């Protein structure tokens, strides 16, 4: 079987990470989500906790990052412009994502991996979303969320991810054209995994 990669972008509370992990198990390939933080720590010299914080920093809603089209990482550092910690982390993670996709079959969650790997024909790009009420319930049941303003919190998390995507990729987060498959995960966790597994196997046929 050919080497391939599935990237998953996801709304907060849609279960995208859990679905991605189970998908990787079903496909028998590696899974990367928070694992990318440890790899980026080794690459940048930042502490893992610091990278976690930096990833959650706000990005401007109104402007694009200066490095969106400046791959690979080396190019960005050669421009002579100052690079924020968030930009350094993004660039390091992008380099890691490209390396991983070149080395092995895997599922990668988040970090705009769909954009980073946009030109790789062996990569299938997925977006997972769900109605807000489903995501509130899912976050309570699966992440133990108890905050009273959970729906507002979820909206803020989506906004942050959307701005991050826009800043670093100049793309609209969740726009169907940027993905091979967009799925409403309120069809259920098990069904979502099976739908994606079937999709991944059909996608693979094209490569063989």
Residue of 35, 115, 177, 208 interacting with a copy of itself (CB under 8 A): 177
Q: Which is nearer to a copy of itself, 129 or 161 (CB)?
A: 129
Is residue 19 within 8 Å of residue 8, measured between CB atoms?
A: yes
Q: What phi, psi does 126 have (nearest 5°)?
A: -125, 140
Residue of 85, 122, 136, 182 interacting with a copy of itself (CB under 8 A): 182
Q: Which is nearer to a copy of itself, 170 or 191 (CB)?
A: 191
Which residues, numbered 130-169, are part of the site for a copy of itself (CB under 8 A)?
A: none
Residues 6+ apart with CB under 8 A from 10: 16, 17, 19, 20, 109, 110, 127, 128, 129
Q: Which is nearer to a copy of itself, 3 or 60 (CB)?
A: 3
The HSE-up count of residue 15 (CA atoms within 13 Å, CB side) is 26
Check binding of 29 to a copy of itself (CB under 8 A): no
Check binding of 1 to a copy of itself (CB under 8 A): no
Question: ∠ CA 185-189-195 to the nearest 5 degrees?
Answer: 70
Check binding of 179 to a copy of itself (CB under 8 A): yes
Q: How far is CA 174 from the centre of its chain?
A: 11
Is residue 168 within 8 Å of residue 90, measured between CB atoms?
A: yes
Q: Which is nearer to a copy of itself, 129 or 166 (CB)?
A: 129
Check binding of 208 to a copy of itself (CB under 8 A): no
Residue owning tokens 């988040």: 110
Residue of 49, 57, 133, 202 interacting with a copy of itself (CB under 8 A): 202
Check binding of 68 to a copy of itself (CB under 8 A): no
Is residue 44 within 8 Å of residue 122, measured between CB atoms?
A: no
Q: How far is residue 165's CA from residue 31's CA, in Å, rounded to a whole number?
A: 21
Write each residue from 97 to 136 as x if it is in contact with a copy of itself (CB under 8 A), else as -, in one continuous string: ------------------------------x-x-------
Write out the two tokens for 94: 């992008």
Residues that bind a copy of itself (CB under 8 A): 127, 129, 174-177, 179-184, 187-188, 191, 194-195, 198-199, 202-203, 205-206
């Amino acid at each position: 079987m050919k080497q391939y990669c599935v990237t998953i972008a996801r709304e907060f509370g849609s279960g995208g990470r859990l679905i991605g992990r189970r998908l990787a198990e079903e496909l028998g390939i590696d899974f990367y989500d928070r694992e990318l933080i440890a790899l980026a720590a080794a690459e940048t010299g930042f502490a893992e906790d610091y990278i976690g914080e930096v990833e959650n920093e706000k990005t401007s809603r109104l402007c694009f990052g200066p490095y969106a089209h400046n791959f690979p990482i080396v190019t960005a550092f050669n421009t002579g412009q100052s690079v924020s910690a968030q930009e350094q982390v993004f660039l390091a993670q992008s380099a890691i994502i490209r390396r991983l996709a070149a080395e092995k079959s895997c599922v990668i969650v988040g970090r705009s991996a769909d954009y980073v790997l946009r030109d790789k024909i062996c990569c299938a790009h997925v977006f997972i979303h769900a109605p807000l009420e489903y995501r509130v319930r899912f976050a309570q049941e699966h992440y133990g969320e108890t905050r009273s303003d959970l729906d507002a919190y979820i909206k803020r998390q989506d906004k942050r991810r959307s701005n991050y995507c826009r800043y670093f990729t100049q793309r609209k987060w969740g726009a169907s054209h940027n993905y091979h498959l967009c799925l409403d995960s309120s069809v259920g966790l098990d069904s979502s995994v099976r739908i994606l597994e079937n999709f991944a196997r059909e996608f693979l046929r094209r490569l063989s």
